Amino acid sequence: MKTLYLALKYLAVTLWSAFVIFPFLWMLSTSFKTSNAVTGGATWLPWAQFEPSLAGWKSLFGGAGGINIVKPYINSVIVTGSASVIALVLGTLAAYGLSRFTFRAGPLRNGDITFFFISQRIMPPIVLAIPFFLMLRWLGLLDSLAGLILVYVAALMPIAVWVMVDFFNTIPRALDEMAWMDGCTPVTTFFRVILPNVLPGLVVAGMFCLIFGWNDFFFAFTLTFTETQLLPVSIVALNSSVTPWWSLSAAAIVSVAPLAVLAFVVERFLAKGGLAGAVR
């Protein structure tokens, strides 16, 4: 009975894995194909079924008919990374404040302020496009990394606040009070006592920030022209009247890779229980 159950479980997991992995395999094989191989029906095995070519990959690094994605790639890493770190730091501090201290801004209380943060994500981004554009122009930061980082911080911070407020709320206030009694200042209380308890929250919020930031096309497209390009924009720029499936596939692989690696590492970290028990 138990063996049957296990067998069924593994069968289900295997089927699901195949379903999830298939697009990646498809992308991988397509990235080594030429125009003829792509249009010549479904083929899988290089050399046996089609002659592999590096043209798709070469076009990512300035090869014929392509765009050099190295610089946009680095730009994306810088913008997403710094915006995520800044949003995480500011968002975590804000969330701690909102979870622990009583605020009043006119008729607004803590709950309303928290909702105000989250509400920034409720409206469609297009609503913000023109205001952001005007503000960046006023600051002289259009088409610059700094400008993009600012905009991304604004877009990512609500996520950090939202996730972290919930995590802070699970930590009993008595822990703060105890630390104060032990002679901690509020700042050391936060860093030495409270923060170690919300590590899983930081990981979750950080993942959200990185994924949203990395995947954003809209702001990267509307707020830059030629100087500063981010990866999603340059991938779209690869496209032409005849869709270059091979270079698009290669680009898709390199753009998904960092998030996949990150997800793998974090999953390992969480599953290992390195964080289990930190809360409760």
Site for other proteins, rule CB under 8 A: 172, 174-175, 177-185, 188, 193, 196-197, 277-279
257 or 278: CB nearest other proteins: 278
Q: Which of 234, 222, 254 is nearest to 57 (CA)?
A: 254
Burial class (CB in 10 A: 0-12, 13-18, 19+), 198: buried
177 or 267: CB nearest other proteins: 177
36 or 185: CB nearest other proteins: 185
Q: Which of 21, 34, 17, 279 is nearest to 167 (CA)?
A: 279
Q: How far is the CB of 184 from other proteins (least distance, A)?
A: 5
Q: How far is the CB of 208 from other proteins (least distance, A)?
A: 23
Q: How far is the CB of 47 from other proteins (least distance, A)?
A: 55
Q: In a 3-state reduction of DSSP, which class is residue 50? A: strand
Q: How far is the CB of 140 from other proteins (least distance, A)?
A: 45
Q: In a 3-state reduction of DSSP, which class is residue 56? A: helix
6 or 178: CB nearest other proteins: 178
Q: Which of 254, 252, 245, 184 is nearest to 56 (CA)?
A: 245
- For the chain, the straight-line distance linking the first and the last C-alpha, in angstroms and rounded, comes to 36
Q: Dihedral of CA 118/119/125/129: which sign? A: negative
Q: How far is the CB of 170 from other proteins (least distance, A)?
A: 12
54 or 175: CB nearest other proteins: 175
Please state the φ and ψ torsions of residue 65, each to the nearest 5 degrees: 70, 15
Q: How far is the CB of 186 from other proteins (least distance, A)?
A: 9
41 or 273: CB nearest other proteins: 273
Running DSSP on this structure, what letter comes out for residue 241?
Answer: S
Q: How far is the CB of 278 from other proteins (least distance, A)?
A: 6
Rg (CA), the chain: 24
List of residues 6+ apart from 113 with CB closer than 8 A: 98, 103, 105
Burial class (CB in 10 A: 0-12, 13-18, 19+), 252: middle
65 or 172: CB nearest other proteins: 172
